[in-house]
Each structure stands twice: as structure tokens, then as C-alpha cells.
A and B are shown apart, each in its own frame.
Chain A
Amino acid sequence: MAPAPRFSRITLALGALGSALVVFLLLPIVGLVSGTSFADARAGLRHPLVAPALELSLVTTALSVTLVVVLGTPLAWLVARTPGRAARWLESSLKLPVVLPPAVAGLGLLLAFGRASALGGLLARFGLSVPFTTAAVVLAQVFVAAPFYVEAAIAAFRRLDTSLLVIARTLGASPVRVLFRVALPLAAPGLLSGAALCWARALGEFGATLMFAGSLAGRTQTLPLAIYAALESDLRAARSLSLVLVVVAFALLVAVQSAERASTRSGAEHD
């Protein structure tokens, strides 16, 4: 039994370090929650900015995450399965939107899709214009949030045991069948947590949206933009709005996590 105390001492030290971070990360959220009474929260929910902004946030982030998953999964699969420098360069460049300040990302989107751009000019010929529309909100979210999913998906596909894929092929499964029946179910937990992170980033998106889509209630004003608008006039309303955002985000993240656990379990059963 000699090693036991040493082990728990280390655990204790690690626990102390870890809890310092937990306290730091949760303190601002506790501040938001504890300073808001139940009556304040209810008044906040009834604030005229809330309902359209919440609905818009849920609809646009659902669309964004769907787009990212549909386009990002094949991309991640290809990058993960392609050896060589080109794939690694591509992987690094896909992370760029994460380091760009969001307002700069929004400016970039305006320069790419705006009136002055070649693409914008082309779209204008068909009577289409992207900036300041709900579509622009979705594009801004996809731009800033996609790397979080793609990165997680590449890692999940890389972790796959390649021998399983080879065996499936030798047993006569087509490449498509291998992807859908073997690779995707095995990578599912990783893909799900990537999608959750991507969704969370899209939900909190502010800077790029403001620059590229503007802020108009019911059309482009998402919850973070509504909070910012309320911040200027009524701090209490802004706090209750923030609370709504925190609760919605937490509920959805918990739901994704339980789905992730379920898929890990079913993955284990397949083994």
C-alpha cells in the first residue's frame, strides 16, 4: 500500500491546480447569475429584444452547424486520410479564422461578398445581395465556427484504427459503406463534441456578424447583438439577456454531451 499516499498527494496537487481554473472560469458566470433576481430574469425574458433575437439565434446557428457538418465532414475525412505536406498546409490554413479578430473576419466577408467585390457584383446581376441579410448572419457564423468542427473531425478520423477500415474493405464493403457504417459511427463522439464546440462558438458570435450582417431586430440581430444593444441603455436587461444565453447554451451543451456518451457506449458495444 506504499504508493497509495503518493498517488493521492499528486491527485490533490492536480486537483488544486484544476480547481483554480474551474473557479476562475465559473466566477464571472456566478456573478451574472447571483446578481440577477428571479423577477429580473423574468422581466429580462419579456424584454422586447429577447424573443426575436433568441429565435433568430437558434435558427441561424442550427443552419450554420448543419452547413458546417455537411461540408466539413467530407473535408475532414479527406484531410485526415491524405498523407503529405499539402494536406497539413491545408489543415493549418483552415485554422486561420480562429486567430482573426472577429471584426476583421467581418470586414473580410464584406470585402469578399460586398458591393465593391467581384463576387458581389456578379450576385448583384441576379438581383442578389448578401450583406445585411439573415444569410450574412449564417455565413459569418460558418466562417468563425467551422474550424472548431473541422479540426475536431480531422482528429477523430485520425484516431480511427485503420486496420478496421481495411478489414471492412477486404470483407467486401464498398468505400462509401466503410465510411458510413464503420468510420462515422466510430468517430461519432469526436464529431459530436466538435459540432457542439462549433455550435457554441456560432451562438456567441458577435464581431463578424455586426460587421457583415449589421443589426436589425428579427432579421440580423442575434442574441449577442441584442445584449450589446441593451448594454448601452439598460444594464439590468442586458444581464438577464446574458442569463438567457447562458441557460440556452448550457442546456444544449448538456444535451450534446449525453448524446456523445450514448454514441460512445454504442461504439463500445460494436467492438
Chain B
Amino acid sequence: MSLRSARRALLLCCFVTLAASGGCGTKPKAGAHPELTVFAAASLREVFTALARRFEALRPGTHVVLSFAGSQTLRSQIEHGAPADVFASADERHMTALAAEGHVTAPKFFAQNELVVAVSRAGASSVREFRQLPDATRIVLGAPEVPVGEYTRRALEQANADLGADFQARVEAHVVSREPDARQVLAKVALGEVDAGIVYRTDALAAKDKVVIVPMPAAYNVLAKYPVAVTTHAPRAELGRAFVELLFSPEGARVLAESGFLPVTGAKADAR
């Protein structure tokens, strides 16, 4: 085999690789339609979709690209150079880590979410209030590794003081699955395959035609705090800051409240 044929083959190989990778670039096009990329926790899907439409209406020509996933997944993507302008997390830890690594600056809490019990239509007769949760035949909870599962564990522990020291154990005796996110918990309740699951209020509200919402008393409810920040290397930092401003505006607060989010009380707003 000659050197020339080897070179030709190599060239062919390079060409194929180039052709295959062409068009995969993610750089925003400097055109008439500025594009804002927002990475948001899965539980923000409905409310951020509504807010993005509002943002586009306020700034004609602007296009908001939304990417929803678990906060950990989004954090990993940002750490590996994903072109996000804004990151909204359901978990303080991931935002704190990104801030420490210099990927985001000045995160602030913009909303809170509380836990509720989502009860299926079939389970609705046995679980009318929170103290009756152990009467459900089948319960699903979030996995202890994910935020919703961690908050649930803390809430059940705190409930022991009020509802009997074995309350948590009586609930856990009926747990058939520990799901990787709140939406999976909700899906199983909505399908009627399980009687009850503990999810965020906003998730339960999004499926309120399929599940019955049983509130969890404030005395042992655990609040999830949602921080938001503009990324350090944001391709559209200016637009990103404007989107964050919308979250903190009276209009943003109204949209968040309509979806079931709770406001953050003033003094605690800095996520550091």
C-alpha cells in the first residue's frame, strides 16, 4: 500500500467525520431574532413555559429556548459547557456548587414549593387528610437521592412528633417504589396504580383533574427553595438578566402564584 493511498483514506475519514459533525454547532446566530436559552428544573415546566411566552410578547422578535431536566443533569450540562443563559434550579445545592465553580453569579431565590399528598381517585375515600396516609394500600415517594425524596423524608420525620413515633414507619411499610423525580411519583398516582404519593404542590395542581390534593400541615411541611442565576459565560447575558427581572416582577409573581408556587419572603432572598 502506498503512502498516497493511506493519505487519501485518511482524508476520506476526515471528510466523513466533518460531514457528520456539520450543523451541530450551538453558537447563537447574530441575527434579527435574539435567542435566550433557559435551563430549568423539571418542576418548573408549566410555569416557565408560560413565563417564556410572556417574555417573548414583551420583547417582540425574541425567542426563548427552554430546556427542562433534573437539576443535577442541568448542572452537569452547564459544567460541561452547555450554552445556557439562565439556570433555575429546584435544589439549592446544585446552584451553590455552580456558583463556587464560577459558572453562575449572584443566585437569588425566586419561589418556594411545598409538599402535598396526591391521592388517586380510588384512594380518595381512605386518605382524606394527611394523618390517614398510612391507610393507603400502595404509596410512592421520591428516592432519597433526589430533592423531593429528601424533603419527604424530613417531613415524615417531623410528622412523627405529632402523629405518633411510628408514623413514618407506618407510611414506609406501604411504599412500593421510590421514584427518581416528582413527576414519576405523580404519574403513578394519576394512572391509579398507586393510592397516594408525596409531590410538590405545583406538580399536583398540574394534574388536578386526575388526582385529589391532600395538604400537608405547615408544622412539618418542608419548603423547597428555587434559586435562579444568569450564567457567567452567557451568550445572551443581557436578555438573561431581563428574564430574571421578569421572575421578580409583580407579573412574574402572579404567574408563579397561579401555578401554586409560594413567594420568598424578602430577607431570605439571597441564595449566596
> Do B145 and A214 have beta carbons less than 8 Å apart?
no
B265 at the binding interface (Cβ < 8 Å): no
Query: CB-CB contacts of B113-143 with A at 8 A, as 1s and 0s?
Result: 0000000001000000000000000101001
Query: With a CB–CB cut-off of 8 A, which chain B residues contact A107?
Result: 191
Given the known interface contacts A5-B2, A9-B5, A12-B6, the answer about A232 and B146 at a Cβ–Cβ threshold of 8 Å is: yes
**Interface residue total, chain B, C-beta cutoff 8 A:** 34
Per-residue CB contact flags for chain B residues 159-192 toward chain A (1 = under 8 Å, else 0) read: 0000000000000000111111000100110011
- Give the contact-size bracket for chain A: 35 or more
* A5 B193 Cβ-Cβ under 8 A: no
Q: Which of B76, B122, B140 sits near A214, CB closer than 8 Å? A: B140
For A231, what are the chain B residues with a Cβ–Cβ distance below 8 Å?
Answer: 70, 72-73
Interface centre among A15, A20, A115 (most CB of B within 10 A): A115
CB neighbours of A16 from chain B (8 A) = 9-10, 12-13
In the assembled complex, which residues on chain A have CB atoms less than 8 Å from the CB atom of B26?
Answer: none
Question: What is the CB-to-nearest-CB distance from B166 to chain A, in angstroms, rounded to a whole number?
Answer: 20
A213 to B179, alpha carbons, bound, how many Å?
10
A-B contact pairs, 7 of them (CB 8 A): A8-B1, A16-B10, A16-B13, A115-B122, A210-B179, A231-B72, A233-B146
14 further A-B pairs in the complex, CB-CB below 8 A; given A13-B12, A131-B176, A230-B145: A16-B12, A19-B13, A132-B138, A132-B177, A213-B177, A214-B176, A214-B177, A215-B180, A216-B178, A217-B178, A220-B177, A228-B180, A229-B146, A234-B145
Chain A residues packing against B (C-beta within 8 Å)? 5, 8-9, 12-13, 15-17, 19-20, 107, 110, 114-116, 131-132, 210-211, 213-217, 220-221, 225, 228-235
B contact residues vs A (CB 8 Å cutoff): 1-2, 5-6, 8-10, 12-13, 16-17, 70, 72-73, 76, 122, 138, 140, 143, 145-146, 175-180, 184, 187-188, 191-194
